Structure 1
Amino acid sequence: NLGCATGHPAFVMSNSFTNQVMAQIDLWEKGEDYENKVYVLPKILDEKVARLHLDKLGVKLTQLSENQANYLDIPIEGPYKPDHYRY
């Protein structure tokens, strides 16, 4: 992650580790829902990790209103980017 990512190394690693830990928690809680294969982490997880780190950047994020979500044709809770979008 540090080789290709931009930003402060500690912040990059914090995002990476948070993503991994949250994926492991999901496996622990819902392990029976997963087959023994490789999965791509869902966009909603990436967006949740990003939201958890916004405070450290001094960013305040508001939640979409129902009107905004309807206009954009996306769920209020996300994910906000299509599957083909890469961060």
Structure 2
Amino acid sequence: LVNLGCATGHPSFVMSASFTNQVLAQIELWTKYENYENKVYVLPKSLDEKVAALHLAKLGVSLTRLSKQQADYIGISADGPYKPEYYRY
């Protein structure tokens, strides 16, 4: 809290997104441990997009959903992830 109060830390919104990423990553590792070896992984795009979606309301933004026709046209699932795993923001 001193970090935020003294204005040298990250804004609470950034911290919320970061902590949400960490928690979802821990849940992923705990519930699907058989899929992971003991090494470093990048958060799956589906979880990254879930974190972003959870924080949109704070920004006053709403997300429209792809129709099945739109998703089929661009060759992705309507539920995401919307970017390939190799894509970096």
TM-score (norm 1): 0.82
Q: What's the C-alpha RMSD, in Å, of the aligned pairs?
A: 1.4
Aligned length: 80
Map of 1:33 onto structure 2: 35
Identity of aligned residues (%): 73
Map of 2:72 onto structure 1: 70
Partners of 2:88 and 2:11 in 1: CA distance: 20
Partners of 1:73 and 1:32 in 2: CA distance: 29
Structure 1 stretches of 5 or more lacking a match? Answer: 1-7
Q: Deviation per CA, 1:21-64, whole angstroms, max 9, x where unpaired?
A: 00101112122222111111111111010000011111111221
TM-score (norm 2): 0.80
- The answer as to 2:33 corresponding to 1:49 is no
Structure 2 stretches of 5 or more lacking a match? Answer: 1-9
Partners of 1:9 and 1:72 in 2: CA distance: 36
- Highest CA radius of gyration, 1 or 2? 2
Partners of 1:29 and 1:81 in 2: CA distance: 24
